[in-house]
Amino acid sequence: MEKEFSQENLDFWQRIDRFKWRYNSTCEIRAPDLIKEAVDIYKSFIPEGSPHSINVPSKILENLKSVFEDSFRFPNGINQWIFDDAYESVLKLMYSDTFARYKLTKEGGEDIAKAVSMREALPVIRIRKLGSK
């Protein structure tokens, strides 16, 4: 990701993955903790000039800005799903653009070849049909 200048996308995706896990609907959610973490993520990745600004469609950015920067919507508009659209957009971008370019590099080709050979080296488990010997 660093070689493709996409480290911030991976960092964002990982932060949101942890955020989503921490505040899933099956656990007790403490609103002040969720809001504090959401604001930290927002400030780190979303506003123009943020330390690790990500590249997502402007509609997604505008939706996030409207929740975090509008005093009538903040903090009531924040929930555990607030970053879902950005999360999915970054994942698609990493897979379709960054990973696609990486596969074309020498290192990418070598890494993929290693992964394939490791997979092929795994023992094959044969399953017998019932009634056969």
Quote the distance between the C-alpha of residue 114 and its chain's center. 25
The enclosing H or E element of 94 equals none
57-76 pLDDT, tens digit per residue, is 999 999 999 999 998 888 88
CATH number at residue 115: 1.10.167.10
Residue 111 domain flag: yes
Joined tokens for residue 43? 């400030």
Within-domain flag for 132: no
pLDDT category, 5, cuts 50, 70, 90?
A: very low
Q: Could you tell me if residue 1 is inside a domain?
A: no
Instruction: Name the domain count of the chain.
Output: 1
Nearest to 86 by CA among 52, 119, 115: 52
What is the band of 114 on the pLDDT scale with cuts at 50, 70, 90?
confident
User: Domain containing 42: what range?
Assistant: 7-121
6-55 pLDDT, tens digit each:
788 889 999 999 998 888 866 666 888 999 999 999 999 999 888 898 98
pTM of the full structure: 0.70
